[in-house]
Amino acid sequence: MSIDPLAGKPAPPEKLINLAELLTDYYTLEPRVKVAFGTSGHRGSAFKGAFNEGHVAAVTKAVVEYRLQKGYTGPIYLGYDTHALSEPAFRTALSVLAAMGVWVVINANNEYSPTPVISFMILEHNRTHRDRLADGLIITPSHNPPQDGGIKYNPPNGGPADVDVTDWIQKRANEIMANPSSVKRISYSRALKAETTKVEDFVDPFVEALGQVVDMEIIRWSGLKIGADPLGGSGVRYWQPIAERWGLDLTVVNPRVDPGFTFMPLDSDGAIRMDCSSPYAMANLIKSAGDYDLGVGNDPDFDRHGIVSGGKLMNPNHFLAAAIEYLLKHRPNWPQNFRIGKTLVSSAIIDRVVKGAGREIYETPVGFKWFVSGLAEGSLGFGGEESAGASFLRLNGRVWTTDKCGFCMTLLAAEMCANTGKLPHEIYQGITERYGSTEYRRLDSDLNDERKAILGQLKPQTLAGNRIAGLTVAEAFDKAPGNQASIGGLKVTLSDGSWFAVRPSGTEPKMKLYAESLGGADLLENILDEAPKLIFKD
C-alpha cells in the first residue's frame, strides 16, 4: 500500500470533520447499519448511520437484559474517551441505565475513563463483592478516526467480552433497534441525579495501585526524563497525578483535548487516526524525542502503547519481545508455571525469547479476550498483541487488568531503562544478537464486500498454489495453536520459517496482511507482494 504524501504532516482543513454535522447526525439519523461487535465492541460513524443514538440505546438495553439474565447485581462502571461522539453516547447510555434502574458508577468531575481504568475498577469491586458482581461499558472507538464512535462491554472478569456474550448482545440489540420505542430513558440531568447513579474518583485509586504493577520507586530514583503524548486521549489528565504521586520527571508533551483531533499528523493513508504504533501518527513525539530520555504515547482509550527509544518509534513487536524478556527476569514473585500469551500474528522473535527462558507460549487468534481468563487466574504472566496492546500481572503475581493497559506498558519501558541502564531498543538489539533478526510488517488495505466474503471462507485447502516468493508452503492453518479457536483468516508458514497471515480488521473495513521474513527485507517485500495472489487468485 502506497504512503500518502501528507503522512506525518498536519491535517489540512479539508481533512477535518464537521463536528456540528457529526453530532447532529448522531441524534437525528436513524440507524442504517446493524450493531456488529468486532474484536472490541461495536464501532462506526454517525455520518454513515453506523453509530447513532439508536445504536447506543439498543446496546445499552441489551447489556442490561444480559446482566439480569446472568444475575449480575453490582454496578456498571461507565466510562468514555475523548472522541466527539463519546460524550453524547455516554449521556445516552446513562439515560437508559438510569431509566431501567441499574446501579451505575461514573468517574468524578466528568473525567474521562481509559479502558484499563474501567477494567481495574471492575476487578477491584468484584474482589470484595463476589455476591454483587460489577461489569462495565466503555464508550470508545479506540484509535479510530474522529468521526467514529464505539461501545464495548466488559463482563465481571474485567476484560473484553467473549464471542458468545457479544453475539447475544448484538442479536438482542438489533431486535431492540427494530422497535426503538421499547427503550426506556429519562433525561440526562435526571439520570445524573438518580439514586442509582454513583460518582467515584477513578483516578487516585488507579494511580496509587500502579506501584503494585511497576517499580515506580526505581523510576523515580533514576531521574529518567520522560515525555508522554496522550494523543488527545482519555488518559491526558492522569499523567500529572502519576508524576506527582510517584515523583517522576514526566512531561505531558501535548495536553490538548480536541474532539476533532485537529492537532494530529495524518496517518500513512492520509486519515486522522490516533494509532500510537504508527510513526506517522506519532510524528510530533518523535520530533521532540531529543528532549527526553524516553518518549511514550497512547491511543485515545489508553489500551495501547507506543515507545520512542533512541529517537525512533519502536516496532510494537520489538518492544513486546524486549518487555517479555525483561519481565521473565525481573518478576520473581509471579506464579511458577505461568505462560506468555501472544497472538499468532506477533513476531516469531517472541517465541524464541520465551523458549530461551524455558517458558511456554500460549498462541491465540487476534483479540485480547483470549488472555482474560489466564491473566485473571495467574496462568498467564503476560498477554500481548502485535498492535501494541498488552497487560501483565502485578509484582506479587496477582491480576492487574484483564484488558490492555497502555499505562503499565509505557511505565514498564521506564522501569526497564531505570533498572538495566539500557533503553528498550538497546535491550531488543541484545535479543537479536542472541536469536537473530527478522523483517516484519503489517499492511492495511481497503476491503470490499466481495473480498471480505472470501476472507470469511478461507481454508488451508483454498490457497491458490503451494509456493510464494521462491519458498514452499510448509503449513497453512485457520485455527490458533494455543486454543484451537478460529483466527478469522489464514496463517501460512513457509519452508524457511518465514510466514504471512491475512484477516479482516475487527474495527474498520480493512484487510490486514501480516508478514515476517527470516531471509531479509527483499524476501519480506516479495511475500507481501505475492501473498494476496495466493488468497484471492488474481
Task: Give the integer Cα–Cα distance in Å for 51 and 483.
Answer: 33
Strand partners, 500: 492, 515
Set 40, 142, 347, 517: catalytic member: 142
The chain-wide mean pLDDT, for the chain, equals 95
Question: Of 120, 124, 149, 108, nearest to 237 (Cα)?
Answer: 108
Q: What is the 3-state secondary structure (H, E, C) of 107-175?
A: EHHHCCCCHHHHHHHHHHHHHHCCCCCCEEEEECCCCCCCCEEEEEEECCCCCCCCHHHHHHHHHHHHH
Residue with cell 497453512: 476
From edge to edge, which strands make up the β-sheet containing 380-385? 361-364, 339-343, 380-385, 389-392
- Are the beta carbons of 53 and 92 closer than 8 angstroms? yes
User: 492: helix, coil or strand?
Assistant: strand
Q: What is the mean pLDDT of residues 233-247?
A: 98
pLDDT at 509 > cutoff 90: no
Task: Give the integer Cα–Cα distance in Å for 390 and 402.
Answer: 9
Residue with cell 520459517: 497
pLDDT at 351 > cutoff 70: yes
User: Model confidence over 488-506: pLDDT tens digits?
Assistant: 889 999 999 999 999 887 6
Name the phi and psi angles at 37, rounded to 5: -85, 125
Q: What is the mean pLDDT of residues 170-190?
A: 97
**Domains by residue range for the chain, with CATH:** 18-201 (3.40.120.10), 439-536 (3.30.310.50)
Which cell is 86 given? 463519546
Q: What is the mean pLDDT of residues 366-373?
A: 95
Please tell me whether the overall predicted TM-score, pTM, comes out greater than 0.85 for this model.
Answer: yes
pLDDT for 1: 58
Task: Give the integer Cα–Cα distance in Å for 321 and 57.
Answer: 41
Question: DSSP for 34-48?
Answer: ---EEBTEEEEEGGG
User: 385: helix, coil or strand?
Assistant: strand
Task: Give the integer Cα–Cα distance in Å for 51 and 488.
Answer: 24
- Are the beta carbons of 82 and 62 closer than 8 angstroms? no
Question: Can 288 be counted among the known catalytic residues?
Answer: no
pLDDT for 536: 81
Query: What is the residue type of 465?
Result: G
**For residue 458, what pLDDT band results from cuts at 50, 70 and 90?**
confident
pLDDT for 15: 96
Strands 135-139 and 104-107: unpaired
Q: What is the mean pLDDT of residues 73-81?
A: 98
pLDDT for 71: 97
Task: Give the integer Cα–Cα distance in Å for 347 and 387.
Answer: 11
